[in-house]
Amino acid sequence: MKKDSVKKFMQDLLKTAGITVNGQEPWDVQIHNEDVYTRVLATKELGLGESYMDGWWDCERLDIFFDKIFSAKLDEKIKNNIGTLLKLILLKIINPQTGKRVYQVGKKHYDLGNELFQDMLDSRMIYSCAYWKDANTLDDAQLAKLHLICEKLHLKPGMKLLDIGCGWGSLAKYAAENYGVEVVGITISKEQHDFAKKNCAELPVEIRLQDYRDVKETFDRVVSVGMFEHVGSLNYHAYMQVVHRCLIDKGLFLLHSIGANESQVATNPWIAKYIFPNGALPSIAQIGTASEKLFVMEDWHNFGADYDKTLMAWHANFNANWDKIKADHDERFFRMWNFYLLSSAASFRSRTIQLWQIVFSKNGIRNGYIAPR
């Protein structure tokens, strides 16, 4: 396809979503390099993200721009190229989350520096969807999420809790302080490990730099918040087997994860390259298949729309604190991070992806499970 034809095709495609090239609305794109059309058509999401990082185009409200794109399903109207299809086929065969590769996302993303996340997140440094049902601020919404999780797990004093993917230790600390439980938290990020150990000092909390497959003890409760997205589709069943092994017969397991509307084996290539390597979002079918014959699903709670508000709050914090953050990061990182936060917010706003909290038991709860909301 000739360059002019590609340009017209892309501009017409954007018009179907209500986006005008070089238009006056805040969601309209402003083009600075005409080569952007062929670049995006050739490499799809990767080209769109990289061309934005390179300053080839701008948009005042990226979140609305992406909401319109996702709602109009424009990504489905541009067919995959042979290279992308080959990669997807290989990912069904080759397991990218084995051995030392499991630590790549820790080094790539979570080890960017605790200062970055302190400037972006809430005061407890919680890097997962907040619960905004009765909250007006990010701090209150994250506190509500911690309370919701602990209540769903029916925590009682003296219980032992395994926190798979404990982050900076916020949930472990909250559960130990408010519910009198002992906690083992595991993470694959050295920065998170070091911070969480200090964060949970003087509490019955042990923080480990450890892969989930290496946990051998048993626990009354198991929780995993925002970690299952890094497990990989080839490992879902093995992950569930580990949790089953670590959970007592009358225990409860809460899985908090972003979810996809359709089954997939990889995330979009821009996210994989720049934000979360080797990740993938599970679907209902994939979680169901992985947990079959191991668990009874007691409750499935979707509050994905709350992630839009959470990401927009992180975006506001990130930009408000950029003068501090830029001492360690350049302008390209600034554009990359804004692209990540705002495109992600739009994904939840358009309901393209979801946020699930799922409670499992091994054998079913007699007389039924009571699910807090």
Pairwise CA distance, residues 300 & 137, whole Å: 25
Determine the distance from the C-alpha atom of residue 55 to the mean position of all C-alpha atoms in its chain, rounded to a whole number: 26
Please tell me the predicted confidence (pLDDT) of residue 90.
46
Q: Is residue 303 part of a domain?
A: yes
What is the reported pTM? Answer: 0.91
Check: CB of residue 287 under 8 Å from CB of residue 357.
no
pLDDT tens-digit series, residues 6-36 = 999 999 999 999 999 999 999 999 999 999 9
Question: Is 185 found in the same domain as 56?
Answer: no
Question: Is 70 found in the same domain as 186?
Answer: no
Q: Is residue 369 part of a domain?
A: no
Please tell me the predicted confidence (pLDDT) of residue 112.
72
Check: CB of residue 156 under 8 Å from CB of residue 179.
yes
Q: Is residue 372 part of a domain?
A: no
Question: Is 163 found in the same domain as 70?
Answer: no
Please tell me the predicted confidence (pLDDT) of residue 91.
47
Determine the distance from the C-alpha atom of residue 148 to the mean position of all C-alpha atoms in its chain, rounded to a whole number: 19
Question: Is 116 found in the same domain as 37?
Answer: no
| Phi–psi pair at 54, nearest 5 degrees | -80, 0
Please tell me the predicted confidence (pLDDT) of residue 196.
97
Sheet holding 160-164, edge to edge: 205-209, 182-187, 160-164, 219-225, 247-260, 353-361, 296-302
Pairwise CA distance, residues 48 & 22, whole Å: 16
- pLDDT beneath 70: ranges in the chain: 1, 78-111
Q: How many CA atoms lie within 13 A of 227 on its CB side?
A: 25
Question: Is 111 found in the same domain as 60?
Answer: no
Instruction: Report how far apart the first and last C-alpha atoms of the chain are (Å, whole number).
Output: 53
CB neighbours of 321 closer than 8 A, spacing ≥ 6?
119, 120
Q: How many CA atoms lie within 13 A of 80 on its CB side?
A: 10
CATH of the domain at 341: 3.40.50.150
Please tell me the predicted confidence (pLDDT) of residue 267.
80
Question: Is 48 found in the same domain as 110?
Answer: no
Q: Is residue 367 part of a domain?
A: no
Determine the distance from the C-alpha atom of residue 134 to the mean position of all C-alpha atoms in its chain, rounded to a whole number: 23
- How many other β-carbons are positioned within 10 Å of the β-carbon of residue 92? 11
The crossing angle, in degrees rounded to 10, of helices 170-179 and 190-199 is 20
Total of domains in the chain: 2
Q: Is residue 86 part of a domain?
A: no
Check residue 74 and report its DSSP letter.
G
Pairwise CA distance, residues 20 & 28, whole Å: 5
Question: Is 115 found in the same domain as 59?
Answer: no
Pairwise CA distance, residues 315 & 342, whole Å: 7
Please tell me the predicted confidence (pLDDT) of residue 335.
98
Please tell me the predicted confidence (pLDDT) of residue 215.
97
Q: Which domain holds residue 55?
A: 3-79
Helices and strands per DSSP (H, E), number in the chain: 15, 9
Please tell me the predicted confidence (pLDDT) of residue 96.
60
Check residue 252 and report its DSSP letter.
E
Pairwise CA distance, residues 346 & 106, whole Å: 25
Check residue 228 and report its DSSP letter.
G
Please tell me the predicted confidence (pLDDT) of residue 84.
45
Question: Is 149 found in the same domain as 56?
Answer: no
Q: Is residue 87 part of a domain?
A: no
Question: Is 346 found in the same domain as 272?
Answer: yes
